[in-house]
Structure formats: structure tokens, C-alpha cells
Chains A and B, each alone.
Chain A
């Protein structure tokens, strides 16, 4: 069956530009998670959605980062005015429900390079 998909797989942008990263979760999964993987920080949890709601946005690195989810499915992570320190791999994961015993299934990631 189809897994979590992310697009684009690679994105190169110039400092100061806005970027949108997309995540398509596994069909029927109500919970969706965004992570960032960088050399300096390792794997960091950014934000999760239960349905279309993101109760806690405190994990987002700065106010340039925002995320939304529509229709309980696709999610976009938007980075405004990108900086070089935003260069990283952005991973999306989904699970059937939100809960400590729910396995998170990861997508292949979007590799973002800010020049």
C-alpha cells in the first residue's frame, strides 16, 4: 500500500525566499507529524496534527515556520524568509491515531538547501 509521500524531494532556494513543503499521509491516518533532521541538531520534533488541529506549536524553530493541514489529510510546512540555518531534511510521519502506542510511519523527506 501507499506510504507517506513528501514533495518536493529536493528543494534549493535562495536566502529570503519562502518555501512550501508538502506531506501526504497514509490514507486513514488521523495524526501527522513534522520533524527536522540536520547535522547539528539531529532529529527534532516540530509539530503534530490531530485531524486539522495543531494544539502545540512550541516546537517550531521560529515564527517564520508555520504548518497547516486541510481535510484531515495533506499538510504543508511553510518557511518564510528562509535562512541558511533552515537547510535540513524535513521529515513527515503519520499514525493511525495520536497516542503513545501508535507507530509513526515516516516519509522519505524533503531535502532543503538554502543558498
Chain B
């Protein structure tokens, strides 16, 4: 069975600073990987996804993620965060054609 680990429950970053959120997955075959963001009281919005090909994927809102098979990682990055980026971030893997398996999430706090 697949699993996702997000090691950081909370991360605090100053506005304008760079951001990296960590995600490690466990899956026996080629994983399909996703990052979603959830703002308070909102549903989940897809930031980006990786299926195959170029290991650096670009997403919305200036986010990118890099797939590293050797490290079983799919870390999310942003060069300069904005106060509006404060939210909960979820990494997910889809091994079969069914539901997504999510990590526990990382709560991002932006300091002014």
C-alpha cells in the first residue's frame, strides 16, 4: 500500500522568503504525485501534479516541485512567499485509479 509522509506539521516563513515543504512517498511502482492547498474553510485546490517526464514541475501561484526517485521525495518550493500563501498544504500519491492517499499536511504560517 502507498503512503505519504510530510515531516513538518508546521512551518513559519517570513514574507518574501523562500519556501520548501517536504514530502516523501512510499509506492512500489511509478507514483503519480500531487500537491494540494487548503485555505481555511475551503476545499482542496490542486497546485501541481507529476505523472512522468520532466522531474521539475511548475504549478499555479508560482509553486514548483521536484520529483526525486532516488530519495522518494516530491518537495514543494516557492522562491518568495506572500501572506496569502498561508494555508495547509497536502502532498498526495495515487497508486491506482481510485482515491488519493494524502499526507497529514503542513501548516504554513507567514510572518510579516
| B-binding residues in A (CB < 8 A) | 4, 33, 35, 42-43, 45-48, 56, 59, 91, 93, 98-101, 103-109
CA distance A42 to B96 in the complex (A): 20
Do A42 and B104 have beta carbons less than 8 Å apart? yes
Please, which residues of chain A bring their CB within 8 A of the CB of B32? Answer: 100-101
Please, which residues of chain A bring their CB within 8 A of the CB of B42? Answer: 108
**From B45, which residue of chain A is reached at the shortest CB distance?**
A106
- Cβ < 8 Å to A, chain B residues 2-53: 32, 36, 41-46, 49, 51
Do A42 and B102 have beta carbons less than 8 Å apart? yes
Q: How many residues of B are counted as interface, with CB atoms below 8 angstroms from the partner's CB atoms?
A: 24
Choose one: B51, B95, B100, B101; the contact of A104 (CB below 8 Å): B100
Please classify the interface of chain B as helix (H, G, I), strand (E, B), loop, or mixed, using the class held by over half of its residues: loop
Do B44 and A91 have beta carbons less than 8 Å apart? yes
CA distance A43 to B100 in the complex (A): 9
* B75, CB-defined interface residue at 8 Å: no
**From B104, which residue of chain A is reached at the shortest CB distance?**
A42
- Cβ < 8 Å to A, chain B residues 55-112: 90, 92, 94-105
**Shortest Cβ distance from A104 into chain B, in angstroms?**
7
Choose one: B94, B99, B104; the contact of A59 (CB below 8 Å): B99
